[in-house]
């Protein structure tokens, strides 16, 4: 019952945040020059005033900014994400088509970065100032300073063009007709380079943070007390230090989840990954406002959900927090 009340309270407090994001996204997009009507008119080569007026009337752009905003908020309240006139399709269907590839890329990158970051940080901290600590620290520093898009381009040059080990772009091999495990293997080969490009920065961040957190916890009084009671170092590390050292990792992971969504746009563009990031980039180029607003709205909701999950995990790791 207490957990249900806590979840309800957090969801209620999240509503003003989501509404504020809706207002901000709507205003920022409409402050940019141009609109979908001007883009379509330019592509068709017919930019007469009558044609432009007809397009703007069709898209609802001839209405006042306030009326467009009220229409948009009303549609959001009814879970209607709108219609993409640029793609001549419902926005919801366009996003659902791309949700699978983006979810696969983000979960793979995030899970790899988090797991390897924790392990490498723990290994570095337990061997403080040793050769493995120095190597991990050096690799983390280089990975932290390497731009993801540059790494992706270099991987394409080396592993695709040079060695021919991995495909250059796409989600799977077009026209290959793979099924079953052959299809899984094909998708996995296409996934390797985008996932590594997206995960490397966060892996370095989590490794450095985990190392610092473990070293901080090992200097606490409760660790000294545990050693005085005769507990082994393995027992101290797994039963006491590791649990407390994970708290800042959980916090940073929740904050960085939003940056991971933004980073996927660049990575998906570099590798031609057919996800929401590529969809957002194309929508921005074509001034498809309905599609852009829907993507921003779903991203904001996802970040709110992730922050809620972080609070729950935090309470599980730290019994001092009450839900």
Q: 204: which residues sit within 8 A by CB, 6+ positions away? A: 117, 139, 140, 141, 142, 143, 144
Ranges of beta strands (E only) in the chain are 83-84, 89-90
Token pair for residue 279?
A: 């969809």
Protein fold of 93-317? MetI-like fold (1.10.3720)
Q: What is the pLDDT of residues 80-126, one digit of tens each?
A: 777 777 777 778 888 888 888 888 888 888 888 888 888 888 888 88
Q: What is the pLDDT of residue 142?
A: 83
pLDDT (mean) for 2-29: 75
Q: What is the pLDDT of residue 46?
A: 55
Nearest to 103 by CA among 155, 15, 201, 171: 171
Beta bridge partners of 90: 83
Please calculate the CA angle 268-269-273 and round it to the nearest 5 degrees: 40
Nearest to 264 by CA among 140, 107, 115, 116: 107
Given pLDDT bands bounded at 50, 70 and 90, which one contains residue 2? low
Phi-psi label, residue 231: left if phi above 0, alpha if psi -120 to 50, beta otherwise? beta
Cα distances from 217 to residues 140, 224, 237, 316, in angstroms, run 21, 10, 10, 18
Q: What is the pLDDT of residues 23-67, one digit of tens each?
A: 877 777 667 666 656 666 655 555 666 666 766 666 666 667 777
Contact call for residues 238 and 287 (beta carbons, < 8 A): no
| CATH 1.10.3720.10-classified regions of the chain | 93-317
Given pLDDT bands bounded at 50, 70 and 90, which one contains residue 235? confident
Summary mean pLDDT of the chain: 76
Answer positive or negative: Cα dihedral of 259, 117, 243, 124.
negative
Q: What is the pLDDT of residue 35?
A: 60
């Amino acid at each position: 019952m207490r957990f249900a009340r806590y979840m309800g309270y957090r969801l209620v407090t999240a509503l003003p945040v989501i509404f504020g994001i809706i207002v901000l996204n709507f205003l920022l997009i409409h402050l940019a020059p141009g609109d979908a009507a001007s883009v379509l008119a330019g592509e068709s080569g017919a930019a007469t005033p009558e044609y432009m007026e007809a397009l703007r009337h069709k898209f609802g752009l001839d209405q006042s900014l306030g009326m467009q905003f009220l229409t948009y908020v009303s549609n959001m309240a009814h879970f209607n994400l709108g219609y993409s006139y640029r793609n001549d399709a419902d926005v919801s269907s366009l996003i659902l088509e791309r949700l699978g590839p983006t979810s696969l890329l983000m979960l793979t990158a995030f899970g790899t970065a988090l797991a390897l970051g924790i392990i490498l940080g723990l290994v570095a901290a337990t061997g403080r100032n040793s050769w493995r600590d120095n190597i991990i620290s050096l690799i983390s520093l280089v990975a932290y300073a390497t731009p993801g898009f540059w790494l992706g381009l270099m991987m394409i040059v080396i592993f695709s063009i040079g060695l021919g080990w991995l495909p250059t772009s796409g989600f799977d091999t077009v026209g290959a007709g793979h099924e079953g495990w052959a299809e899984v293997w094909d998708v996995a080969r296409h996934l390797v380079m985008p996932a590594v490009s997206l995960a490397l920065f966060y892996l370095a961040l989590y490794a450095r943070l985990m190392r610092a957190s473990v070293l901080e916890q090992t200097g606490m009084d409760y660790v000294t007390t545990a050693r005085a009671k005769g507990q082994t170092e393995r027992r101290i590390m797994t039963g006491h230090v590791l649990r407390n050292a994970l708290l800042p990792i959980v916090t940073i992971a929740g904050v960085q989840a939003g940056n991971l969504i933004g980073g996927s746009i660049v990575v998906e563009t570099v590798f031609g990954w057919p996800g929401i990031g590529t969809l957002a980039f194309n929508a921005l180029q074509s001034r498809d406002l309905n599609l852009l607003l829907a993507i921003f709205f779903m991203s904001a909701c996802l970040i709110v959900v992730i922050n809620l999950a972080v609070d729950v995990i935090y309470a599980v790791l730290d019994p001092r927090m009450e839900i």
